Structure 1
Amino acid sequence: MNLETQQGILSRIRWMSAYMNPALRRIADRVLEAPEDVKSISIKDLAAQCKVSESTVTRFVREVKISSFQQLKIQIAEELSKSTASEGAASSDRLVYEDIAEGDNSVDVVSKIAGRYSLTVEDTRARLNILQVEAAVEAIEASNMLAFFAMGSSLICVENALMRFMRVGKTCQFFRDVGVRQISTATLGPGTLAIGISNSGRTIPTVDALKAAKEQGAMTLGITSFSDSPIVRHSDIKLFTPTVTGVTGDADYHESMVSKIAQLQVVDVLYSLYALRNFGNAVEQLERTAAVTSLTRY
């Protein structure tokens, strides 16, 4: 089974729409808004509703890796059918983690979690926009300081980023206290890259901090899973990660820990590219910090 089949067409459209031009994005929004309608609509009617040509709809279909408009409708119908069946089955189960249900045994739990992690890593690899990744690395290179903003489980990603970038000599800033963190945005400006990390893209302190940093003249980078989330509006550079969601990717769901694997993966990609571009200095700084950290070990 290939990645496109595993991921689900609606999740793929939601994710890829973030990088589409306005015409294709209108089609994506229409599909995600009412997939039940789209599964039985004609290409002519969809084009008219989105105010585009039929050839643009055909281009959209190719963009999301589907062979024809008819095949798109079939895949949407199949996914909606599977979703309805799984929701009915899950209604009697209480979930304690992702899709782990009360009746699962040890083998089920190991298999489900391994599958989630494996698919998340592959999804992230396949869907990261290389142009946006390179823009992020260039912004890191050009900055005097990296200022991080995150809350909750996204702090895992920040801790990883601090360790990675500080070890190669990049000045970083992060405050755990929310009040101090918000005050710190007033000190940012040109020369700073403010990085907001939020799976939902709706965490108020993180979104507000990135907005304030941008108003102060800082370059901003948002790492999130939802292209329609508030954090995107305040991000000069946007990197999108996969997550565990419903059919259309609603952000109103329990916290997804699997999504943190994608965030960690993105940070490691940015760090690795930055270190490669500054190889000599990075190696020198790694050796210097290794000497310091060696003092903390027996």
Structure 2
Amino acid sequence: MGDGAETKQGILARIRWMSAYMNPALRRIADRVLKAPEEVKSISIKDLATQCEVSESTVTRFVREIEVTNFQHFKILIAEELSQGLGGGHLTTDRHVYEDITEKDDTASILSKVTARYAMTVADTRAGLSADELERAVTAIEDADVIGFFAMGASLICVENALLRFMRVGKRCLFFRDLGIRQISTSTLGPKSLAIGISNSGRTISTVDSLRDAKVQGATTLCITSFPDSPIVRHADISLFTPTVTGVIGSGEYHESMVSKIAQLQVIDVLYSLYAVRNFGSAIEGLVRTSDVMSLTRY
């Protein structure tokens, strides 16, 4: 990402996001930083290493892992972010109706903020998705006799997109809007099935429970979330992380990111495209066949 990336995405958001892919030693450092960044901004590298039970060289490796030039620069970035109020997961005096939009914003400001937030989300999602995890996810899609989707709220938009994409290329998909039937549907899944749970916070009870129950039934499980420390990850064989984290410090329960749907849609479209390319012949046949059906719905 280079030095310019620090202004594109907050350093604390990046740490929380990237920590999902770190080894245990680096993850301890990430957890310590996120727990009390106001302390870390003035700590020595020796003290941080001692608190995390790692060597100073491991702290240096952590700093490089998050693509910051050195430890001193790392502390400066944290201090700047905290001083600007970008890292806190606590409520401020301004109430926000959409990400960082308040009652003080006018039309031009809102247009600029929403557009910039969307562009940032797309770029950060592209930068942070794990190629290895994407490959595992596509293999699971290929091997599945049926894909069961589980989501609520804004994440339903992602499910609707996924249904359209994968059903058009011949994959059997399962999704019920009724919460009770959706919970029951997990009993129909088995070792040849794939259950996909989508939740930005990773804490939506029905989605987490559905993925857990599907795993008990022997299904392969996949989650799409922004929080690597959320409950849904514990029940997922494959995890794909999106960077749309607003309350970086503190619990993922703070609130759902309003632009999480953009990252989720991007992930689904990447998975669909990878699957379609791997199965090009059958995918084209499916698109042609469903195009004939869809043409009947248009003048």
Please tell me the TM-score bracket, short chain as reference.
over 0.9
Provide the residue aligned with 1:278 in structure 2: 279
Please give the secondary structure, in 2, of the residue aligned with 1:245. Answer: coil
Preserved CA contact (<8 Å) 1:80 1:247: no
Provide the residue aligned with 1:52 in structure 2: 54
- The alpha-carbon deviation at position 250 of structure 1 amounts to 3.7
Provide the residue aligned with 2:128 in structure 1: 127
> How many pairs were matched up?
297
Provide the residue aligned with 1:229 in structure 2: 230
- The alpha-carbon deviation at position 242 of structure 1 amounts to 1.6
Preserved CA contact (<8 Å) 2:168 2:290: yes
Report matched runs for 1:1-298 at 5 Å.
2-83=4-85, 91=93, 93-248=94-249, 250-298=251-299
Query: Residues of 2 paired with 1:260 and 1:249: CA distance?
Result: 21
Query: Residues of 2 paired with 1:86 and 1:284: CA distance?
Result: 50
Segment of structure 1 superposing worse, 43-52 or 81-90? 81-90
Query: Which residue identity lines up with residue 17 of structure 1 in the other structure?
Result: S
Higher helix share: 1
Preserved CA contact (<8 Å) 2:18 2:128: yes
Q: Deviations over 1:119-147 (max 9, x none)?
A: 00001001111111111011111111110
Query: Residues of 1 paired with 2:90 and 2:205: CA distance?
Result: 33
Preserved CA contact (<8 Å) 2:90 2:247: no
Q: Deviations over 1:144-174 (max 9, x none)?
A: 1110000111100000000000000001000
Preserved CA contact (<8 Å) 1:3 1:123: no
Preserved CA contact (<8 Å) 1:196 1:207: yes
Distance 1:86 1:135, change over 3 A: closer
Preserved CA contact (<8 Å) 1:27 1:50: yes
Query: Residues of 2 paired with 1:255 and 1:21: CA distance?
Result: 27
Query: Residues of 1 paired with 2:89 and 2:167: CA distance?
Result: 45
Query: Residues of 1 paired with 2:125 and 2:269: CA distance?
Result: 12
- The alpha-carbon deviation at position 55 of structure 1 amounts to 1.1
Query: Residues of 2 paired with 1:84 and 1:244: CA distance?
Result: 11
Please give the secondary structure, in 2, of the residue aligned with 1:83. Answer: coil
Preserved CA contact (<8 Å) 2:96 2:102: yes
Query: Which residue identity lines up with residue 265 of structure 1 in the other structure?
Result: Q
Q: Deviations over 1:225-267 (max 9, x none)?
A: 1011000000000001121413426423343221100000000
Query: Residues of 2 paired with 1:184 and 1:143: CA distance?
Result: 16
Query: Residues of 1 paired with 2:67 and 2:53: CA distance?
Result: 22
Distance 1:249 1:120, change over 3 A: farther
Query: Residues of 1 paired with 2:172 and 2:198: CA distance?
Result: 18
Query: Which residue identity lines up with residue 73 of structure 1 in the other structure?
Result: K
Quote the RMSD (CA, aligned, Å): 1.9
Identity score, percent: 70
Please give the secondary structure, in 2, of the residue aligned with 1:296. Answer: coil
- The alpha-carbon deviation at position 5 of structure 1 amounts to 2.3
Structure 1 gaps, min length 5: none
TM-score, normalised via structure 2 length = 0.95
Query: Which residue identity lines up with residue 282 of structure 1 in the other structure?
Result: A
Q: Deviations over 1:192-236 (max 9, x none)?
A: 010000010000000000001111111000000101100000000
Distance 1:276 1:196, change over 3 A: same
Distance 1:85 1:159, change over 3 A: closer
Structure 2 gaps, min length 5: none
Segment of structure 1 superposing worse, 150-159 or 37-46? 37-46
Q: Deviations over 1:18-41 (max 9, x none)?
A: 000111101100110111111111
